Amino acid sequence: AMSDYLWFEGIPFPIIEYEKEIIEKSCDKFVFRDEDTVILTYPKSGTNWMKDIVCLIQTKGDPTWIQSVPIWDRSLWLESQRGYQKLINKEGPRLITCHLPFHLFPKSFFSSKAKIIYVIRNPRDVLVSGYFFWSKTKLVKIPESLTTYFEWFIKGNVVFGSWFEHTRAWLSMRKRDNFLLLSYEDIKKDTKSTIKKICDFLGKKLEPDELDMVLKYSSFQAMKENKMSNFSLINEVVAPNGLDLLRKGTTGDWKNHFTVAQAEAFDKVFQEKMAGFPPGLFPWE
């Protein structure tokens, strides 16, 4: 039913923490500043991993900040109730998180030097990760099975809309200087090189031992144990039985969940919807 999401301009948003007026304001009125950094993702692509990495880069590997402040307060969600108000009142450089599709993103970005880090992930893994995550929350409509969720995902009837449309549109930005395209798969394969890339992009220089600290404290295990990062502090209205953001942290988990028929159907849709991009842009098998 329509009421299972908060609909805004044809895009389904979560029903808790989001409000139409705020989404509207964040899309139309938010003013970017040159010093802002935005972590932009389709949900379940590695958003929070990127948040901890960027926070740790800012503190040169010192974990005090990431171990004392909840992850959602370190990088505020632009389009959420909680985030928007705090962001507009925040002075100095802002670290912003955002899941908005390209066409809803605040236009002020295009006349600023603010930077976007866009993280993509194999949509098959995004699907599986989302299925297990949302099912534990009261944020969205709960699918009765993975089969149901698979259908919704293919159609784009899931929070923040179609993965294919989100990704297609944002990838059109990939050649801009203030846009860094990363993938969950590449971060996973060589985290250290990725951290260096992010440092270059943000104009930060880290000593080798500082870099090692960033690596250490942003690892799956360290984040899973850090209650400021692992979502164990989530409001019980959102997740009455608790929530574990760091579920598995691997690539290719979809192979444990898709049927052969689903895998084939997904390939077909992917090829159709993502036609035209250069081979090698998507670093998953």
| Residues marked as catalytic | 99
Instruction: Determine how β-strand 37-41 pairs with β-strand 6-8.
Output: unpaired
- SS3 per-residue string spanning 191-220: HHHHHHHHHHHHCCCCCHHHHHHHHHHCCH
Q: Counting contacts by CB under 6 A, is residue 44 touching ligand PPS?
A: yes
Smallest distance, ligand PPS to C-beta of residue 273, A: 21
Q: Of all residues in the chain, what percent are helix, strand and coil, respectively (each to 5)?
A: 45, 10, 45
State which of positions 247-266 bind ligand PPS (CB under 6 A).
Answer: 247-249, 253
Q: Of 41, 58, 122, 137, which lies in the binding site for ligand PPS, with binding defined by CB under 6 A? A: 41
Q: Are 106 and 30 in contact (CB under 8 A)?
A: yes
Number of CB atoms found within 10 A of residue 88's CB:
15
Smallest distance, ligand PPS to C-beta of residue 161, A: 14
Q: Counting contacts by CB under 6 A, is residue 7 touching ligand PPS?
A: no
Smallest distance, ligand PPS to C-beta of residue 148, A: 18
Nearer to ligand PPS, 7 or 220 (CB): 220
Number of CB atoms found within 10 A of residue 135's CB:
14
Q: In what order do the strands lie in the sheet with 76-77?
A: 76-77, 95-98, 37-41, 115-120, 179-183
Q: Which amino acid is at 60?
A: K
Q: Of 49, 72, 105, 152, which lies in the binding site for ligand PPS, with binding defined by CB under 6 A? A: 49
Which two three-digit tokens encode residue 216?
A: 């250490």
Q: Counting contacts by CB under 6 A, is residue 46 touching ligand PPS?
A: yes
Q: Counting contacts by CB under 6 A, is residue 47 touching ligand PPS?
A: yes
What track of x and - describes contact with ligand PPS for positions 199 through 218 (by CB under 6 A)?
A: -------------------x
Q: Counting contacts by CB under 6 A, is residue 129 touching ligand PPS?
A: yes
State which of positions 229-248 bind ligand PPS (CB under 6 A).
Answer: 245-248
Smallest distance, ligand PPS to C-beta of residue 241, A: 17
- Rounded Cα distance between 124 and 256, Å, is 11
What's the Cα-to-Cα distance from 180 to each of 102, 120, 246, rounded to whole Å?
Answer: 15, 11, 24
Positions in the binding site for ligand PPS (CB under 6 A): 41, 43-49, 125, 129, 218-220, 223, 245-249, 253
